[in-house]
Chains A and B, each alone.
Chain A
Amino acid sequence: MSLWEKLERIDRRVLYGLLWIVVLPVLYYPINLPVVISDLTKEYYNQIEAIPAGGVVVLAFDLGPAGWPELGGMCYASMQHLFTMIHERGIKVVMLTYWATGAALITNCFEGDYGPMDQMGADYGTDWVNLGYIAGGEVGMSNFAADAWAAKPTDYQGTPVSTLPIMQNVHTIQDVYMLVSIESGTPGYEEYLRQWWTRKTTLRILVGALGVSIPGVEPYRPTRVQSYLPGGKGASEYISLVGKKVPAILPGQMGKKAVGVNDALSTSHVLVIIFVALGNIGYFLRSRRK
């Protein structure tokens, strides 16, 4: 086998091994490559900053543990950002999930299992609430849009929503100003668009999605989905922005992880591009020799 043929047919185990080598060290010892904030991330951030006083925001964690390494940072940063808005502008935050596995992820987030979560004096039940898991997928979304109390009669601890002050002003989707949906599949933004946006076309929607899901979200922007965070890159950028407002987030587990993910994304992409280039060089040189 000639050198060119070898370049064209590098064993996949070599690629796997090199991927380990370029990803693992920077995850544990980040090299702190600069984070360039994209327009999408700025828009996501600005949309949250522009929530009017008293506006109700639904923060949905529609994901499972599989999506957590990529989306966890933006879940955490979104919650922290919304807590600052509760403090600054008195907005109301309703947390929920249509994924059974999402309930525990919400709990872990606000309990600070992933780093310091500054609730800034926000009162549970008055300023924010965790409704936990709502069954039914897309039908559950439709139920919530028509009658939130009937769709989820209790919060995640079994407290009737009728006794929670925050829920006195949340009966249907008409009472919600914004949806922030961080998701890794179905049900997700498409179901929200069908069941929520069609009932309230002024509903603001922000999406945090896996990198591979972004081509599906883009066609809905900016009229239906105002902005979105694309995967690990979006999470890193957004944490950097939120970190300017809440500095405590950066030295925490999520802040450190975001820097590591940012670096790992760069090194792994560069490796793939190098291999693609090598494969093509081998292919061209072998073809020319023939």
Chain B
Amino acid sequence: MTWYKRREGPLIVTLVVALFVIFEWYFGEGALIPEATEASAEIQRFVAFILAFVIGVGALNVLRIHWHRIQRRKPGDYSWLYSSWIYVLVVLFVITGVLLGVYSGLRTEEPSYIWMFDYVLTPLDASMYSILAFFIASGAYRAFRARTAEAALLLIAGTLVMLGNAPIGGVIWSGFIDINTWIQRIPMMAGMRGILIGVGLGAIAMGIRILTGRERGYLGGGE
């Protein structure tokens, strides 16, 4: 196995780049070594380019998966039609968004791209998200049962927050808004801050594990 295929190569690159960016944060601009700032910024711009490139790789991967589904279609199973539809839409969006957008100089204002965005993507995307309202309503009806003291507490808090958040709550009694504000600013904030501090400590621990090569999940490929 050549050296660049081994895990040590990517681990060393990760360590060097991470230490450089961390070093710059503490000792760069306005501190000991201002020159480090420009180099660190260059690295981060490079990351932005890679991330932009990854979108293209992701799109190709989606097309590859759906190509396999079309190839392996079985009699009576028409789900391959959805995979074909993805090809149609990807081609249409690439033509309108990239080709027509660039050649006309209109970019995201290209009329056919805007039409597809406004009348295809926007309603579909918004509909998918809006369906949540039905699930949340059904979930609240089933979950908010005062079976235990803790569940009763959750029920009372949930109902008060709902009344405080719904515009009609404040119209019925302004106290609902005050109660909702108190719940959000005292008990909820205390809980959320505890969680956030825990997440922060976890991120530091994860960072140290990555820097020391103990955490290798991000390299992919399994052990």
Residues in A lying within 8 Å of B, measured CB to CB: 10, 12, 15-16, 19, 23, 33-36, 38-39, 64-69, 100-101, 103-104, 107-108, 113, 132-133, 135-137, 139-140, 142-143, 146-147, 150-151, 156-158, 211, 214-216, 218-219, 230, 233, 236, 262-263, 265-273, 275-276, 279-280, 283-284
Interface residues of B in 94-134 (CB under 8 A from A): 105, 107-109, 113-114, 117-118, 121-126, 128-130, 133-134
**Does B128 lie within 8 Å of A135, measured CB to CB?**
no
Interface pair B167/A135, CB less than 8 Å apart: no
Contact in complex: B133, A136 (CB < 8 Å): no
Residues of B within 8 A of A158 (CB): 105, 107
Stretch at the interface among B64-72, B76-84, B155-163, B210-218: B155-163
Checking B41, B55, B144 against A279 with a beta-carbon cut-off of 8 angstroms, the contacting residue is B144
A218–B185 touching, CB < 8 Å: yes
Chain A residues whose C-beta falls within 8 Å of the C-beta of B121 in the assembled complex: 65, 101
| Contacting pair B177 A215 (CB below 8 A) | no
Tell whether A36 pairs with B117 under 8 Å between CB atoms, given A150-B45, A215-B192: no
Take A108-B118, A283-B146 as given contacts and tell me if A230 and B165 are in contact as well, using a CB distance cutoff of 8 Å: yes
Q: Among the listed A12, A23, A147, A216, which residue makes an inter-chain contact with B192, where contact means beta carbons less than 8 Å apart?
A: A216
With beta carbons under 8 angstroms apart, the residue of A19, A140, A150, A236 that contacts B133 is A19
**Beyond the given A146-B41, A151-B48, could you list 18 further A-B residue pairs with CB under 8 A, ordered by the A residue number?**
A38-B177, A65-B126, A66-B129, A68-B122, A101-B117, A113-B118, A132-B108, A139-B47, A143-B45, A146-B37, A214-B184, A218-B185, A219-B196, A236-B167, A266-B171, A267-B168, A280-B144, A283-B145
Per the bound structure, the CA–CA distance linking A276 and B159 in Å amounts to: 9
- Tell me which of B118, B138, B163 has the highest count of chain A C-beta atoms within 10 A of its own C-beta: B138
Q: Is the beta-carbon distance between B52 and A266 smaller than 8 angstroms?
A: no
| Contact residues in B for A147 (Cβ distance below 8 Å) | 41
- How many pairs of residues, A versus B, come closer than 8 Å at their CB atoms? 174
Q: Return 7 A-B CB contacts under 8 Å, by A number.
A: A65-B125, A104-B118, A132-B107, A133-B108, A140-B48, A157-B107, A266-B168
| A143 close to B114 (CB less than 8 A) | no
A38 to B177, CA, bound (A): 8
Shortest CB distance A133–B (Å): 8
Report which of A15, A157, A233 forms a contact with B137, defined as CB distance below 8 A. Answer: A15
C-alpha gap A64/B122 in the complex (Å): 8
In the complex the two chains form, what is the Cα distance from A78 to B147 in whole Å?
45
Q: Return chain B residues, CB-CB under 8 Å to A108.
A: 114, 118
Closest residue of chain B to A39 (Cβ to Cβ) is B181
A271 to B163, CA, bound (A): 11
B44 at the interface (CB under 8 A from A): yes
Q: Which of B51, B55, B159 contacts A273 (CB 8 A)?
A: B159
Contacts of A132 in B (CB 8 A): 107-108
Is the Cβ of B51 less than 8 Å from the Cβ of A269? no
From A34, A139, A216, A283, B147 is in contact (CB under 8 Å) with A283
With an 8 Å Cβ cutoff, the count of chain B residues facing the other chain is 61
Partner of A143, one of B41, B144, B188: B41
Decide if A36 touches B170 in the complex (CB within 8 Å): yes
Chain A residues with CB below 8 A from B165, complex form: 211, 230, 233, 265, 269
B74 CB-CB contact with A under 8 Å = no
A143 to B205, CA, bound (A): 25
Contact A33 B141 (CB under 8 A): no
Cβ-based interface call for B12 (8 A):
no
Contact pick for A269, options B114, B123, B168, CB 8 Å: B168
The residue of chain B having its C-beta at the shortest distance from the C-beta of A140 within the complex is B48
In the complex, chain A residues whose CB is within 8 Å of the CB of B137 = 15-16, 19, 268, 271-272, 275
In the complex, which of the residues B41, B44, B133, B169 has the most CB atoms of chain A within 10 Å of its own CB atom?
B44
Is B142's beta carbon under 8 Å from chain A? yes
Query: What CA separation (Å) do A280 and B184 show in the bound complex?
Result: 25
Listed from nearest, the 3 A-B pairs whose CB atoms lie closest are A136-B48, A269-B166, A266-B168
Residues of chain A with a CB closer than 8 A to B208's CB: none
Q: Verify B55–A100 contact, CB threshold 8 A.
A: yes
- CB neighbours of A271 from chain B (8 A): 137
Q: Which residues from 1 to 59 on chain B have a C-beta closer than 8 Å to any C-beta of chain A?
A: 37, 40-41, 44-45, 47-49, 51-52, 55
Q: Kindly list chain A residues whose C-beta atoms are within 8 Å of the C-beta of B45.
A: 143, 150-151
CB-nearest residue of chain A to B130: A69
CA distance A67 to B113 in the complex (A): 20
- B128/A265 in contact, CB under 8 A: no
